[in-house]
Amino acid sequence: VPTQRYKLTVAYRGTAYYGWQTQYTSNTWKGPPPPNDELPTVQGVLRRALGGVLNHPVTIVGSSRTDSGVHAEGQVAHFDSDQAQIPVEGMRMAVNHQLPDDILVKSIEVAPPGFDAILWTVSKRYEYVVWNELNRDPFAADLAFHRWMPLDVVRMAEAAKYFEGTHDFASFAKPGHKRETTVRTVHSMSVVKEGSRIVIGVEGSGFLWHMVRIMAGTLIEVGIGKRFEPKDMAAMLAAKDRRAAGLTAPPHGLYLQWINYDEGSGFSGQGSPEEQEE
């Protein structure tokens, strides 16, 4: 049976996991890691569930390495299998049956030859959710960042417009990112109030490590109105220095919403290999 490549779309609540990427407790380990040394990660849990269903070891390559506590509505990964006799919807149902309640495989699709979840990425959307009420929400404390002071959403939206376009986002990257370039393109960015929630949405070709969380933290400070004005965003970008921007918002407000591919044309996209993102 020839080996087939598959595209997998997955949603997860990141609260219980050490992020997407498989990690080991002994990170100075020289040889192969010992059994049971693995920390709980979404990739690790998925790998075991999928391997159990397919009855062979599976390597899962995810598009975005989401950090500990970060959520996803539409993370995308690829994997290979020669178990082509299993229909994809049956495979999906069987994997979901093996997975814990906080991870859901939304779809498994047969992918075009050579499909790569990282390299074929054309664009992505992240959302950062703020719970803007005096009282916290005891049912969703891990699903949004609680800020009780009133935030000025109009000013936040005005500031967000400065991030649209192609810029050097060095001021909005965690130092130590090891990227060749810190230039990225933000296609659109918006700030919308939905009841007690403020949703910061951003779409782009790719994002640097902590980039969305630093932009969100900075916009929250603009919304408070004491430290930053919307127009300060221009000088922040120009500084190319992390210290020029605002605070890094915590991971539990961040959602990877979707990843867009241009599979039909075999177009390899604008994406670059993402070593560590968000």
| Nearest one of 270, 277, 261, 269 to 179, comparing CA atoms | 277
| Residue 236 engages its own copies in binding (rule: CB under 8 A) | no
Judged by CB, which is closer to its own copies: 137, or 229?
Answer: 137
Q: Which of 67, 137, 152, 241 is catalytic?
A: 67
Which residue among 5, 48, 106, 197 contacts its own copies (CB under 8 A)?
Answer: 106
Query: Binding to its own copies by residue 16, rule CB under 8 A?
Result: no
* DSSP structure string for 233-251: HHHHHHHT-GGGS-PPPPG
- The 136-175 site mask, x for binding its own copies (CB under 8 A), equals xxxx-xxx--------------------------------
Nearest-angstrom CA–CA distance, 126 and 257? 5
Would you say 64 or 205 has its CB closer to its own copies?
64
Site for its own copies contains 191 (CB under 8 A): no
The Cα–Cα gap between 150 and 181 comes to 37
Q: What is the DSSP letter of 56?
A: S
| Residue positions counted in the chain | 278
Instruction: Take residue 49 and report the two structure tokens written for it.
Output: 């569930």
Contact residue for its own copies among 76, 77, 91, 103 (CB under 8 A): 103
Q: Binding of its own copies at residue 135 (CB under 8 A)?
A: yes
CB 95 within 8 A of CB 49: yes
Cα 46-44-278 angle, rounded to 5 deg: 95
Is 196 one of the binding residues for its own copies (CB under 8 A)? no
CA 122/CA 206 separation, integer angstroms: 8
Q: How far is the CB of 117 from its own copies (least distance, A)?
A: 19
Size of the site for its own copies (CB under 8 A): 18
Residues 174, 192: Cα–Cα separation, whole Å: 26
18 binds its own copies (CB under 8 A): no
User: Is 232 part of the annotated catalytic residue set?
Assistant: no
Examine residue 199 and tell whether it contacts its own copies (CB under 8 A): no
Backbone angles phi, psi at 262, to 5 degrees: -115, 70
Is 12 near its own copies (CB under 8 A)? yes
CA–CA separation, 118 vs 79, rounded Å? Answer: 12
Between 1 and 134, whose beta carbon lies closer to its own copies? 134
Site mask for its own copies (CB under 8 A), range 45-84, x = bound: --------------------------x-------------
Instruction: State the residues that interact with its own copies by CB under 8 A.
Output: 11-13, 71, 96, 101-104, 106, 135-139, 141-143
Active site residues: 67
